Amino acid sequence: MIEFETVMAGSLEECLEALAKYGSDAALLAGGTDLYVLIETGMKLPKAVIHIGGVKELRDSKVKSGSVSIGTAVTHSEIDRLDVTEGVECLRAGARAIGSPQIRNVGTAGGNIANASPAADLYPPLMVLDAVLELRSLRGTREVGLEEFVAGPGITSLRPDELITCARFKRPEGRFYTGFAKIGLRDALAISVANAAVTVTSRNGKFDQVKIACGAVAPRPIRMKEVEALLTGQEPSAELIKQAGDMTSKQCDPITDIRASRDYRRQVAGVIVSRLIENASRELMMDGKEGATDA
Amino acid sequence: MRRIISLTVNGVVRELAVEPRRTLLELLREDLGMTGTKRGCSIGDCGSCTVLLDGVATFSCLTLAIQADGCAVETVEGLAESGKLNSLQQAFVERGAIQCGFCTPGMLMTATELLRCNRHPSEQDIRRAISGNLCRCTGYQKIVEAIKAASEDTA
Amino acid sequence: MKSEVRPAVGAVIPSVDSLPKAKGTTRFIQDVNLPGMLHASMVYARTPHSRIKSVTLPKALSIKGVVAAATCDDVPGENRVGLVIDDQPLFVSSVARYEADCVALVGAESTAAASLGASCVEIALEELPPVLTVEEARKPDCPRIHKDGNLAVERKIIKGDVSDGETRSDFVVERTFTTPVQEHGYLEPIGALAVPGADGSIEIMAPAQCPFYIREAVARCLGLPLSKVRVIQLPIGGAFGGKEDVPSEICARLAVLAVKTGRPVKTVLSREEDLVYTSKRHPMRLDYRMGCTQDGNLTFAEIALYADVGAYATLSPIVLFRSTIHAPGPYEIPNVSVTTQGFYTNSAPKGAMRGFGTPQVVFACESVIDELAEMAGLGPIEFRLRNALKRGSTTATGQVLDESVGLVETLTRAKEFLGDDKQQFEPRPAGADTVRSTGIASMLYGVSLGAAGRVLDRGGARVEILKDGSVSVFVGCTDMGQGALTVLSQIAADSLGIATDAVRVNPVDTGVVPDSGPTVASRTTIVSGNAIIDACDKIKTRMVEVGASILGPKAAYDVSRGGIAGARSDSGLGFPEIVSECFARRVDLTATGWYVVPDCRLDEVTGQGKAYHVYSFATDVAEVEVDLKTGRVDVKSFLAIHDSGKIINPMTATSQVEGGIAQGIGLALYERFAVAEGRVCSRDFSTYLVPTSLDISDDLSVEFIDCHSTDGPFGAKGLGEPAIIPVAAAIANAVSNATGVRVEDLPIHRERIVKCS
């Protein structure tokens, strides 16, 4: 019989106190979309479940001096329609790509991040936005970048008494392109076989700042630093974009599993990255003469 | 340890003592005997158990009952008004959107939320909205048509 | 006399059982609970192939709430459930042949206690080397899964001389195809309830396609006469063949525990159990060689099919009969050889799934037909038209088709729709990396059980006219969502000339209606429909006798108005009047109708003869867009053109076909049932992907060619299975046309498209 205690946290303080008390015996419950399955299948047997859905400050999202913060208990559906994410299409599209409407209605940003699935659809967008996570415990507050936070499948630097309170990123300024693409085996309720997000700016007809991240192609979501370097300062061309795709494929180190083979993941990661870059170049450097298309 | 929760189900206030691990689906089906909400997979893959939680389409199989404390729950049993089908249910019947009927309660709840938020959904809006509700009988075509017809009906 | 009643047959009538389904008040097995009822959980071997040394229960029985358990030692009758071949134990006694072979059943006061109890049953076993593929199973030195070897089924057709046909061929195509396991994916997991009677009888309630199969299985395992077993069909939350053979085993196990404990016993499978334990579509390897002349006339077909039947044969002999008969497609071919072999492996039994062995062969055959057409320089439609079965044609089994052959009409309509027979099938660039094209596929489908199921191919109906003029009908075939209750209500209404809502067709109760065989093979409309007509005719004869005594000898039944017409046009008795008159005279207004499908027999050696009494036909047209870089295939539009004879209810018929298209799209593109080392990996709906609303084309069209069948009720044939049959084949042909690389394996693998382009 599955037995556990529940703590219905009413405030952030109560949350942190409960976490301090139970430590690694605690599981945080926000949307519950993953937690309940883990409990039901015996993969997780917490002694205490701390419900944080009722903590108002964790549901907040705001912009303060150009910095957007998304509370840990903000749902995927909310991310897709919040004012603060307007124009940050990669993040909205990433949120929209998760699961099904019912999952997005209750599943939360913090859940997606803390689960640290290599295929998590929020990671690539947050990584190209250079997001940092605010982690709090009774001992204090610290901030870590996403790349530092996630070490492998389900492995993070979150300490047992810590809680992700929010993800924070600077809104890209000026003219920029941002996009997200995903290859899943269906168009809904699909776990990514590969996903990618980019943010791109241009200067004088050349790529300026380029950030690319991919998921489901390595033990953890990764930034494609070499590809970014390849593109930066270059004039877009079909050849260059193809090279970017090929280089992406090379940087990937995926597994073969029930959904797809290693080769396929590498191939399509390159394809979606080159398509996103192509969209970026079209949108940024052709003055919108042609409409952007989805990758 | 049981916990006392209070929620409204289809407008009726219910107060119950529940085990922390009990799901909203179990609460509805077993504690309240409201079996209209179906169990198809228990892990959020099929949509048969969809209910509205404070107006939002939610998998009741993945929701712990304690999460619904203080919330308003709507289920298929609450759709008909004094025994008479509402326009959405009527459209499902008349347009042939029901074959085996097992996905129907969840599908109706998802469609209810959609039509509240978007009174004139496009066909694509409808397909997106019901993409978390599997149906193995109809190929979705008649369901989409029924939701569209109901939306035009309430216009 | 009252005015004419609008005919129900051919009218759009909403499903008669849809109102409670819309309210959520329909009670499925998961919603049915009885006082004192035990919840049961099955105990599985959990290893693909093993010798069971002992099954130890005390630990399980010590769990709080666990009441009793049953094993092979508790079976009062025979511990066997083999349907055609007697190869399957009810509870494993010595050898477990697949992961979910059932060893015991644990009954408890709650589902949680039952499943905990089941997990505590201790099984001591010795693992045996598992046989995982047909290739292994065929080898002479392969371990034997059953004592007579691994070859479970063998079927043959020999017509003409294949080598003679080959010498007359200008073009020959030779190709090997494979098709996958397909899971039914009905949304309602299987379950059942057994209720012991005080007098030693037993009552079963289950969402079951074949209540009469259950009755036999339960009687056999309990050692009871059939008369002491009553099966009542509950609403079925989707079946597609998956609730045909499997419920018999489950019900018999529940019955054993119910008798042992004297309490009602229910089980409802979890989704995981349902996926791992229940039957599936046969995966096949299909070796095809076909040829044609320069003019595009087919000369021969030489076909070898190898099917994986899984751990037990269950329905495989009948499924593979159908594969064999349908393998050469809906064409006149002078020389045909088909050999089919089904082999045991250590995997879940393969049973019935919509199409019943046909989608596989249609995929292979229609692919080869497309290739031959191209070699002969003909468009795919022209080539098919040239070889299509027509009235008077001879099939591969030597059967002359004497009526209701609508294939040419479906092809002609496809040609009219496409407007062109060649360009449409060329690849058309759609975007930088995407290309579009069209594919077609045709099929024939023998309706009902045919020669292989001859003995079972009959059915009954009990019709009772009540004194208020309403009509109660019991039939032997079940509604599983396909709309049988509705269509049969319409048939009853028009047989009597009354309104459909005066008719109530009841779910199957084996205590009321004669054994009508299984609800399979798209046979319900024909078998139950004709039985209803027969029953109504018997009652009408009695009514006419009564009418004649009032209106004179010229009295006759008037189906256009309902009631008795006299000699003069103004004389007559309306339906209520004649019913009251009959009641007043104590005339029996109940009748049992009976219908026997015309005899079909094949020569056992050559497979020649009449395979099925009548055939449905269809041609499907698929337009796809292929992303050559990711391998993603998008079905842009789909048109299905069916000849299923008279369509009794256009709305439910269309919905059937739309659902069939969706399942066919699943088979073609999405559904991959993963197994590794004899253990199922696809244990939920996130690893076995059925199409969502976003994965089906939003441009589906369904059309019907009304090709009347003399023997069918009001001219109807069967439709449920044809709905899925050509779908994957049409999509595969479209993808082949788009990419220029022939699709050989289903589901169409994205990785292969990427590699080939």
The CATH number for A107's domain is 3.30.465.10
Enter the pTM of the model.
0.97
Q: Which of residues 236-265 of A touch C (CB under 8 A)?
A: 258-261, 263-264
**B90: closest CA of chain C, how far (Å):** 8
The owner of tokens 């039901």 is A40
The pLDDT assigned to A289 comes to 40
Pairing status of strand B56-59 against strand A26-29 = unpaired
Selected for mutation to probe chain A from C187, C272, C630, C754 (highest A CB count within 10 Å) is C630
Q: Please give the CATH number for the structural domain made up of C289-300+356-451+607-756.
A: 3.30.365.10
Report the candidate in C542, C579, C549, C590 with the shortest Cα–Cα distance to residue C566.
Answer: C549
> Does residue A230 sit within a domain?
yes
Report the candidate in B64, B68, B40 with the shortest Cα–Cα distance to residue B132.
Answer: B40
Helices H / strands E in chain A, number of each: 11, 14
Selected for mutation to probe chain C from B76, B98, B100, B108 (highest C CB count within 10 Å) is B100
* Residue ranges of domains in chain B, CATH in brackets: 3-78 (3.10.20.30), 87-153 (1.10.150.120)
- Decide: B16 and B31 in contact? Cβ < 8 Å: yes
Residues A39 and A123 in one domain: yes
Residues A35 and A127 in one domain: yes
Residues A22 and B113: their CA atoms lie apart, in Å, by 38
Provide the residue type at B38 as one letter. Answer: K
Provide the residue type at C640 as one letter. Answer: A
The pLDDT assigned to B155 comes to 53
Secondary structure (DSSP) of C295-344 = T--EEEEEEEEEEEEESS-TTHHHHHHHHHHHTT-SB--SEEEEEEEEEE
CB of C499 less than 8 A from some CB of A: no
B24 neighbourhood in chain A, CB within 8 Å: none
Dihedral of the alpha carbons of A214, A217, A219, A225, in degrees to the nearest 10: -40
CATH topology of domain C18-25+458-596: Aldehyde Oxidoreductase; domain 4 (3.30.365)
E strand or H helix at C457? none
The pLDDT assigned to B16 comes to 96
Q: What CATH number is attached to the domain comprising A181?
A: 3.30.390.50
> Does residue A61 sit within a domain?
yes
Asked which of A152, A170, A188 is the last residue of a domain, the reply is: A170
Residue of B nearest to A2 (CA): B21
Residues 6+ apart with CB under 8 A from C297: C386, C387
Among the listed ranges C217-226, C420-429, C455-464, C592-601, which one has the minimum average pLDDT value? C420-429
The pLDDT assigned to C105 comes to 98
Residues A166 and A130: their CA atoms lie apart, in Å, by 14
Q: What are phi and psi of C226, to 5 degrees?
A: -55, -30
Selected for mutation to probe chain A from B6, B51, B67 (highest A CB count within 10 Å) is B67
Residue of B nearest to A35 (CA): B62
Residues A294 and A279: their CA atoms lie apart, in Å, by 8
A103·B57 Cβ contact <8 A: no
Mean pLDDT of C396-404: 96
CB of C750 less than 8 A from some CB of A: yes
A267 neighbourhood in chain C, CB within 8 Å: 629-630, 754
C31 neighbourhood in chain B, CB within 8 Å: 29, 35
Beta partners for C618?
C443, C642
| Fold match flag (C18-25+458-596 vs C32-128+190-268) | no
Residues A58 and A159 in one domain: yes
pLDDT (tens digit per residue) in C87-106 = 999 999 999 999 999 999 99
- Decide: C650 and C344 in contact? Cβ < 8 Å: no
Full residue range of the structural domain in which residue A135 is found: 5-170
Low-confidence ranges of chain A (pLDDT < 50): 288-295
User: How does DSSP classify residue B30?
Assistant: I
> Does residue A293 sit within a domain?
no
Residues B123 and C699: their CA atoms lie apart, in Å, by 11
Residues A99 and A156 in one domain: yes
pLDDT (tens digit per residue) in B85-137 = 999 999 999 999 999 999 999 999 999 999 999 999 999 999 999 999 999 99
Residue scoring higher pLDDT (C493 or C756): C493
Q: What is the sign of the dihedral through the CA atoms of B132, B136, B140 and B142?
A: negative
How far, in Å, are C321, C323, C358, C721 from residue C278 at the CA level? 21, 21, 20, 20
**B63: closest CA of chain A, how far (Å):** 6
Least CB–CB distance from C685: residue in B41, B85, B98: B41
Q: Which of residues 17-36 of A touch B (CB under 8 A)?
A: 29, 31-33, 36
pLDDT (tens digit per residue) in C604-650 = 999 999 999 999 999 999 999 999 999 999 999 999 999 999 999 99
Query: What strands lie across the sheet with C633-643, from one edge to the other?
Result: C428-429, C434-446, C615-627, C633-643, C700-704
Residues A254 and A128: their CA atoms lie apart, in Å, by 20
Domain ranges of chain C: 18-25+458-596, 32-128+190-268, 289-300+356-451+607-756
**C695: closest CA of chain A, how far (Å):** 6
C237·B100 Cβ contact <8 A: yes
A39 neighbourhood in chain C, CB within 8 Å: none
Could you tell me the end-to-end alpha-carbon distance of chain C, in angstroms, rounded to an integer?
Answer: 72
| Helical residues (DSSP H) of chain A, grouped into ranges | 12-22, 35-40, 76-81, 89-96, 101-106, 109-115, 123-128, 146-149, 225-231, 238-251, 262-285
**C237: closest CA of chain B, how far (Å):** 5
> Does residue A149 sit within a domain?
yes
**A63: closest CA of chain B, how far (Å):** 26
Q: What are phi and psi of C492, to 5 degrees?
A: -65, -45
Residues A23 and A72 in one domain: yes
- Decide: C40 and C106 in contact? Cβ < 8 Å: yes
The pLDDT assigned to A295 comes to 40
The pLDDT assigned to C6 comes to 83
- Decide: C177 and C744 in contact? Cβ < 8 Å: yes
Residues A150 and A261 in one domain: no
Whole-number percent of chain C with pLDDT over 90: 97
CB count, 10 Å around CB of C35? 6
Could you tell me the end-to-end alpha-carbon distance of chain B, in angstroms, rounded to an integer?
Answer: 49
Number of domains in chain A: 2
C684 neighbourhood in chain B, CB within 8 Å: 41, 43, 45
pLDDT (tens digit per residue) in B12-43 = 999 999 999 899 999 999 999 999 999 999 99
Asked which of A170, A188, A213 is the last residue of a domain, the reply is: A170
Average pLDDT, chain C: 96
pLDDT (tens digit per residue) in C549-597 = 999 999 999 999 999 999 887 789 999 999 999 999 999 999 999 999 9
Three-state secondary structure call for residue C232: strand
- Decide: C610 and C602 in contact? Cβ < 8 Å: yes
Q: Token pair for residue B143?
A: 């369901």
Residues A16 and A122 in one domain: yes
Predicted confidence (pLDDT) at residue C492 exceeds the cutoff of 50: yes
Residues A70 and A40: their CA atoms lie apart, in Å, by 29
Asked which of A129, A147, A170 is the last residue of a domain, the reply is: A170
Residue range C32-128+190-268 in CATH 3.90.1170.50: yes
Report the candidate in A116, C187, C182 with the shortest Cα–Cα distance to residue B42.
Answer: C187
Residues A102 and A194 in one domain: no
Residues A165 and A181 in one domain: no
Q: What are phi and psi of A243, to 5 degrees?
A: -60, -40
Dihedral of the alpha carbons of C724, C728, C733, C735, in degrees to the nearest 10: 140
Considering only CA atoms, give the Rg of chain A.
Answer: 19
Residues A250 and A145 in one domain: no
Residues A132 and A56 in one domain: yes
